[in-house]
A = this chain, B = another copy of it.
Amino acid sequence: MHRRLLELIENGNYNEARQMLLDLNVVDIAQLLEEIKGEKLVVVFRLLPKELVADIFSYMPQEQKQYLIETITDQEVTRIMEDLFLDDTVDMLEELPANMVKKILKNTDDDRRRLINRFLQYPENSAGSIMTIEYVDLKEEMSVAQALAYIRRTGVDKETINNCYVMDKNRKLVGIVSLRRLILAGEATPIRNVMEKKIVHIDTSMDQEEIAHLFRKYDLTTMPVVDKEKRLVGIITIDDIVDIIEQENTEDFQKMAAMEPSDEAYLKTSSFVLARHRIVWLLVLMVSATLTGSIIRSFEEVLQSVVILAAFIPRLMDTGGNAGSQSATLVIRGLALEEIRLKDAFKVMGKELRVSLLVGAALSSINFLLIHFLEGTDIRIAFTVAVSLFLTVVLAKVLGGALPIIAKKLRLDPAIMAGPLITTVVDAVALLAFFSLSKAILGL
């Protein structure tokens, strides 16, 4: 059907295409429009029913939004801007070039322009920057019937009416009442008596990661944002939170793989930008690896007499790195989900120590058997490798458990203490132990 629709558009069968488009969900329409380029896009865009245009527009990729705003008339821009929710407008403006922001603001009425400007000033990723002001505000002295009448009158333009916010005379937030509760309550009941007074609220500066955590903790679908006087200034809705959770996870994945985080989609980022995000950490880690190199250099004469020792370097380095990554990943993840707190530091290290003793003992025994019996290497060398491997695993896991917590304590992001960094540290110690032991045990 997708292909058929594109064909109809390609051949200029717009009427038939329009009929098919109308059967689609707005998200699917936006996705389909992605494949239409240039003037055809404007033609198809103008075919869409007026009441869906803003909604479809909000799901389009930034480049297409930009192209459309450049191309369509001022009246059309005004119409879209009037129908877009404020948070979607602000999101879009943040990424548009200045001349286009001007074109949009020129076509926006004064009140809304003032609001947009205020929103653009909130720091990125703060509650202020992701909230919307299209909420339903009730007064505590209203009755349920009055509230419902008020909602019927004003609710059409609100992003959600499932939760309504109750204010006192000074516009201070005093309660929340769900539409569900209003429907189920008697018409004469005062709002004051049906509203929920235990409110989870946040202020405009709270970071989105923390907000997402509160949504998850309290199973919320909306959350009010208040100013310092506890006056309601906006609400945040769960659909934005779901995207934020994925965005925060993507950032953690990137940091843990030693990259600078970026929220642009991979295929839409240029090779040059991708290279820039990756090279800094690679360079830092490469230079750190010269330390490990110089440890090997300092044992040159040991290696000279038993050159076969070099064959065990990869095994020690890889196993150390992997063992450390495992621990660091679990702890970083636990910290991110707040399943592990700072006060658990000793518990975590104790656990990692026990796990590392189990894992280290198993790996090093298997390794000993492999090296001595299967590969037929000298028993003293097999023993040295096994002991070094054991020490490496223990060190890697304890460091892997401790470093993310220390980072958090120092108010750094625990995610940077992941595999790559721990691997580099563990490598140096592992090889130092291995060559010192070899020297002693082989009597060199």
CA distance A241 to B243 in the complex (A): 12
Q: How far is the CB of A147 from chain B (nearest CB, A)?
A: 11
Copies of this subunit? 2
- Choose from B257, B300, B311, B431 the contact partner of A326 (Cβ within 8 Å): B257
Q: How far is the CB of A299 from chain B (nearest CB, A)?
A: 9
A250 at the interface (CB under 8 A from B): yes
Identity of the chain B residue whose Cβ is nearest the Cβ of A361 in the assembled complex: B275
A354 at the interface (CB under 8 A from B): yes
Q: How far is the CB of A393 from chain B (nearest CB, A)?
A: 8
Task: Mark interface residues in A100-112 (1 if CB within 8 Å of B CB, else 0).
Answer: 0000000000000
A184 at the interface (CB under 8 A from B): yes
Do residues B279 and A351 form an inter-chain contact, with CB atoms below 8 A? no
CA distance A331 to B287 in the complex (A): 26
Do residues B198 and A23 form an inter-chain contact, with CB atoms below 8 A? yes
Q: How far is the CB of A329 from chain B (nearest CB, A)?
A: 4
Do residues A266 and B340 form an inter-chain contact, with CB atoms below 8 A? yes
Do residues A267 and B344 form an inter-chain contact, with CB atoms below 8 A? yes
- Choose from B24, B238, B282, B315 the contact partner of A322 (Cβ within 8 Å): B282
Do residues A183 and B337 form an inter-chain contact, with CB atoms below 8 A? no
Task: Knowing A200-B25, A286-B367, A307-B307, say if A314 contacts B329 (CB, 8 Å).
Answer: no
Do residues B198 and A180 form an inter-chain contact, with CB atoms below 8 A? no
Interface centre among A279, A322, A366 (most CB of B within 10 A): A322
Task: Mark interface residues in A310-349 (1 if CB within 8 Å of B CB, else 0).
Answer: 1111110111011101101111111001011000100110
CA distance A347 to B355 in the complex (A): 42
A246 at the interface (CB under 8 A from B): yes
Task: Knowing A245-B246, A286-B363, A351-B271, say if A293 contacts B321 (CB, 8 Å).
Answer: no
Do residues B183 and A180 form an inter-chain contact, with CB atoms below 8 A? no
Identity of the chain B residue whose Cβ is nearest the Cβ of A424 in the assembled complex: B318
Q: How far is the CB of A423 from chain B (nearest CB, A)?
A: 6
Identity of the chain B residue whose Cβ is nearest the Cβ of A286 in the assembled complex: B319
A96 at the interface (CB under 8 A from B): no
CA distance A23 to B267 in the complex (A): 50
Do residues B283 and A184 form an inter-chain contact, with CB atoms below 8 A? no
Task: Mark interface residues in A236-254 (1 if CB within 8 Å of B CB, else 0).
Answer: 0011011101100110111
Do residues A294 and B267 form an inter-chain contact, with CB atoms below 8 A? no
Q: 19 other contacts beyond A253-B253, A310-B310, with CB at 8 A cut-off?
A: A24-B198, A25-B198, A27-B217, A27-B219, A257-B322, A257-B330, A258-B325, A266-B330, A267-B340, A275-B355, A275-B359, A279-B358, A279-B363, A286-B367, A287-B370, A289-B314, A289-B315, A290-B375, A296-B313
What are 19 A-B contacts with C-beta separation under 8 Å?
A: A156-B184, A253-B333, A254-B333, A258-B322, A267-B347, A267-B351, A278-B355, A282-B319, A286-B318, A286-B363, A286-B367, A289-B314, A292-B315, A297-B311, A300-B308, A303-B303, A304-B304, A304-B307, A419-B419
A-B pairs with the 4 shortest C-beta distances?
A257-B329, A292-B314, A271-B354, A275-B358
